[in-house]
Amino acid sequence: MPSLRSSLRRRPFVALLVLIVLLLAGYAARAAHDRHPAPPRAVALSTLPVQARQTVTLIQHGGPFPYPEDGTVYDNRNRRLPAEPLGFYHEYTVSTPGDTDRGERRIVTGRNGAFYWTADHYASFLRINLSG
């Protein structure tokens, strides 16, 4: 029968083992979430800033665009949008009054006709409902 002393020595080892298992489970869950993000929530076009609505109109008419980077491939590196092959998404600048550079706001389009809005430089997206 194990002594009380040897039982007390094993407790930290068991606690460490449980902690490692929990960390690995959390890591696996996070990796699965990153591979299959939830689809972005929708927002009506009419609720976006006027500059975003103007950018959508420019995209629908094929330009002209104010920034040379507009229309370039968006690679979805942070996996905030549904996984698609490289070249599926393109990005466009939404000007921000008072900013002297391109700012953080973008419209990203998909080859399937989807439009996405980000006001925080790709940290989050909302799918744009163009009829709203």
pLDDT tens string 69-100: 999 999 999 999 999 999 999 999 999 988 88
Rounded to whole angstroms, the Cα distance separating 129 from 48 reads 10
pLDDT at residue 41 in the model: 87
pTM, two decimals, is 0.71
pLDDT at residue 45 in the model: 96
Mean pLDDT score, 32-46? 73
Mean pLDDT score, 40-69? 94
Task: Please list the active-site residues.
Answer: 91, 121
Rounded to whole angstroms, the Cα distance separating 79 from 127 reads 14
Q: Which residue has the higher pLDDT, 100 or 59?
A: 59
In angstroms, how far is CA 117 from the centroid of its own chain?
10
Taking only Cα atoms into account, the Rg of the chain, rounded to an integer number of angstroms, comes to 23
Rounded to whole angstroms, the Cα distance separating 71 from 55 reads 11
Q: Which residue has the higher pLDDT, 58 or 39?
A: 58
